[in-house]
Amino acid sequence: MFKVPPVPASRLPALLRAMPKAELHIHIEGSLEPELIFALAQRNGVPLPYASVEELRRAYAFTNLQSFLDIYYAGASVLLHEQDFYDMARAYLARAVADHVAHAEIFFDPQTHTARGVPIETVINGLHRACEDARTELGISATLILCFLRHLSEESAFETLEQAQPLLDKIVGVGLDSSEVGHPPEKFARVFARCRELGLHLVAHAGEEGPPAYIWSALDVLKVERIDHGVQAVHDALLMQRLAQDRIALTVCPLSNQKLQVFPNLADHNLGKLLDAGLAATVNSDDPAYFGGYINENFTQVFAATGLTARNAYQLAWNSFEASFASSADKRNWEHQLKEVFERCYEHDD
């Protein structure tokens, strides 16, 4: 890998913002800004229990994952038509381009919508069309990952997979999200085995609030290729070795961890520890509309709070491309662009 010389601290935020990156952990329903929630509520005649955008924003004071999920699922209730899903994804993709995201792998939660009577094809077709249009109109590469809600049953996950079956060419993989503690990965062993047979990529949230044991079972039972969050891995030395040796990427979300009180003080975040242990960590926004920032805000705030360096920045961006489910040719191309941005940064040295 490119040997990264030091960069003065004053120049680091600009470099973090300008470097090309992939975003591998973004829930599209978590990109729904309060303004868009209100606009869609009005367009669709959906009543909201908040009088204004400001009142809704004031409700974003979370104490843990569940306190967030309750509000997040309520926010998604304004999404009814294909155009709503399109508009939501298009807004995210435009925002991602501004943050120099070259490639995004976007999570969506079909059960949140099918439970309200919205057909799964409405969800997938709207999101997929937004990804296709963004590729040609905005120059960003974007793919979709269908997430099963782990607080629901195995049967519901299987039913969702069956509904999605005719649309599988529009998604690259499946994930597992929602309330973690009390819903271990094993609950979905058979669903993930079936998805594997179907040739889908596999990821799962594990070790966000839950114990290292959930990360072990996501790897060994579900056979996932990446772990979403995974920050609790530091409590298990053997697990850290396994993650490093197998180059299992962790999609870390610093501002989410701060807002959901995993690390109430961003200065205590363990991203640096994960990198120092040789893990393939990446930086992502999770639910940017709820946690106070898109991907560049996550980079700049965690770097400022924990004193990470330009070398760490290069490693994180490189990891994000390497851990993506994009083609090898695309990965090499983005990694080349990353190196060029860093080289240009040194050309301007005084």
Footprint of Zn ion on this chain (CB under 5 A)?
A: 286
Helix axes 34-44, 82-98, angle to 10 degrees: 160
Nearer to ligand ADE, 176 or 310 (CB): 176
Radius of gyration over every alpha carbon of the chain, rounded to an integer in angstroms = 19
For residues 98 and 139, the answer to whether their CB atoms sit within 8 Å is: no
Binding site partner of 87, from ligand ADE, Zn ion, none, Cβ cut-off 5-8 A by kind: none
Q: Which of 33, 208, 209, 297 is catalytic?
A: 208
The secondary structure of residue 168, as a DSSP letter, is: G
Question: Are residues 234 and 273 in contact, defined by beta-carbon separation less than 8 angstroms?
Answer: yes
Binding-site residues for substrate sit at 287
Least separation in angstroms between residue 27's CB and ligand ADE is 4
User: Cβ of residue 107: shortest distance to Zn ion, in angstroms?
Assistant: 7
139 in Cβ contact with 167 (< 8 Å)? no
Q: Tell me the C-alpha distance between 222 and 134, whole Å.
A: 32
Annotated binding site for Zn(2+): 25, 27, 205, 286
Binding residues, by number, are 25, 27, 205, 286-287
Residues 6 or more apart whose Cβ sits within 8 Å of residue 283: 21, 252, 253, 254, 271, 295, 298, 299, 302, 316, 320
70 CB neighbour count, 10 Å cutoff: 12
The encoded tokens of residue 276 equal 């120092």
Helix-, strand-, coil-residue percentages of the chain, each rounded to 5: 60, 15, 30
Q: Which is nearer to ligand ADE, 77 or 315 (CB)?
A: 77
Identify the helix (H) or strand (E) that includes residue 141.
strand 141-149
- Residue 72 beta carbon to ligand ADE: minimum distance, rounded to whole angstroms: 6
Residue 65 binds what, of Zn ion, ligand ADE, none (CB under 5 to 8 Å, by partner type)? ligand ADE
255 close to 285: Cβ distance less than 8 angstroms = yes
Closest CB to ligand ADE among 65 and 338? Answer: 65
Residue 258 interacts, among ligand ADE, Zn ion, none and using kind-specific CB cut-offs from 5 to 8 Å, with: none
CB of 350 to ligand ADE, least distance (A): 42
Min dist. Cβ of residue 259 to Zn ion (A): 12
**In the complex, which residues of this chain contact ligand ADE (CB under 6 A)?**
27, 30, 65, 72, 177-178, 205, 208, 256, 286-287
180-211 CB burial, b ≥16 within 10 A, e <16: beebbbebbeebbebbeeeebbbbbbbbbbbe
CB closer to ligand ADE out of 108 and 318: 108
Q: Is 208 a catalytic residue?
A: yes
Instruction: Tell the smallest beta-carbon distance from residue 291 to ligand ADE (Å).
Output: 9
- For ligand ADE, the closer of residues 72 and 192 by Cβ is 72
Of 80 and 205, the one with the shorter C-beta distance to Zn ion is: 205
The Cβ of residue 254 has, within 10 Å, a number of other Cβ atoms equal to 28
Q: Known catalytic residues?
A: 208
